[in-house]
A and B are shown apart, each in its own frame.
Chain A
Amino acid sequence: MNADEARESLAFSEYARKRARDDMGRPWLALVLLASLSVVSLSLTDAAASPVGLFWMFAGPVGAGAIALYASRRNQSSGIDSSPLGYVAITVGLLILSYTAGKIGFAFQVPAVARFGPALVVAAGYLVLAWVERSWMVAAVSIALVAVTVAILGFDLSSQQSKALLFGLYGITLLAVGFSVRVRRQQLL
């Protein structure tokens, strides 16, 4: 085997990997959006043990399970099957960690942790996802979310103002990710 043949084989192997990754309907976006929505909702309630917080603690895992089941069935019919378990674990882990962060913040009377802890957990979750997906775009989103949260913390805003900003900026960022992934997938198909 000479260098050109080796290069050609490596390129073909990379093409096959990329094609498989693109063809698998991985449910990560739906799962992460669900987790993010849950976490932002928890942040906004100011009490993780409120009815809204408790609702999301149950609705989150049930929703994650339903999305994973749908993705699994869809993959089976397309001919390439990925395990959604890792993504479900990330989603449920995010929910538990963010719930715990909120509880700790309230228990120790640290409003900043109670309000922004869950949001930072979401950003950390995106970073894990970026590593799993080998996606620079998702990594950039994670860094952007941390930057947004730290910036809001840096300004001396009222509780209502910081909540509105956090919710708005997270919402816009998540929608932008959703649309860009959708467009990218349509271009690939």
Chain B
Amino acid sequence: MTHPTSALDDTIHQRVRLGILAVLSESRRADFGYLKEVLEVTAGNLSQHLAILEEAGHIQIAKGIEDKRSRTWITVTRKGRAALASEVATMKALVEGITIAQRT
């Protein structure tokens, strides 16, 4: 029998990366500045987390120029959506399991 925490995905369950996927799963895409503001992180910190998620195939990053200024749009992939759903389900199961264990 494996421990429930072994089902957690190390790439995602870090707080900021979980937040990035949660925001992206609700939208078609979000830009770098928006994520930085909502998740209250520095640009450097956010870049690092985005690079990890992109490398794992959970997000796609597109850079371009809009209205004469650079814009970075981030989109969640199918793999990213599935991974987020699985991670949330695992965490809920973990919380429920511990709550039941504490009651008995």
A interface, CB within 8 angstroms of B:
1-3, 6-10, 12-14, 16-17, 19-21, 23-24, 76, 78-83
Residues 11-36 of chain B: 1 if any A CB is under 8 Å from the residue's CB, otherwise 0?
00101001110110111111101100
Known contacts A13-B19, A16-B38: A6-B95 contact under CB 8 Å: yes
Q: Across the interface, which residues of A come within 8 angstroms of B37, CB to CB?
A: 79
Give CA–CA (A93, B91) in the complex, Å: 38
Q: Is B92's beta carbon under 8 Å from chain A?
A: yes
* Chain B facing A: main interface SS: helix
* Chain A facing B: main interface SS: helix
Contact present for A1 and B8 (CB under 8 Å)? yes
Contact present for A80 and B8 (CB under 8 Å)? no
Known contacts A3-B94, A12-B15: A24-B88 contact under CB 8 Å: no
Q: Is B2's beta carbon under 8 Å from chain A?
A: no
Contact present for A79 and B30 (CB under 8 Å)? yes
Q: Among A2, A3, A13, which residue has its beta carbon within 8 angstroms of that of B22?
A: A13
Q: Among A1, A9, A82, which residue has its beta carbon within 8 angstroms of that of B27?
A: A82
Known contacts A6-B95, A9-B91: A1-B13 contact under CB 8 Å: yes
List 17 A–B pairs whose Cβ atoms lie within 8 Å, in order of A's numbering.
A1-B94, A3-B94, A3-B98, A8-B15, A9-B13, A10-B88, A10-B91, A12-B15, A13-B22, A16-B18, A17-B23, A17-B26, A20-B22, A20-B26, A20-B30, A23-B38, A79-B33
Contact present for A16 and B28 (CB under 8 Å)? no
**B59 to nearest A CB, angstroms?**
14
Contact present for A16 and B27 (CB under 8 Å)? no
Contact present for A13 and B18 (CB under 8 Å)? yes
Q: Across the interface, which residues of A come within 8 angstroms of B27, CB to CB?
A: 20, 24, 80-82
Q: Is B51's beta carbon under 8 Å from chain A?
A: no
Q: Across the interface, which residues of B come within 8 angstroms of A20, CB to CB?
A: 22-23, 26-27, 30, 38
**B80 to nearest A CB, angstroms?**
13
Contact present for A12 and B91 (CB under 8 Å)? no
Q: Is B42's beta carbon under 8 Å from chain A?
A: no
Q: A3-B94, A9-B18, A17-B23 are in contact. List 7 more A-B contacts (CB 8 A).
A: A7-B95, A16-B20, A19-B38, A20-B27, A78-B34, A80-B31, A81-B73
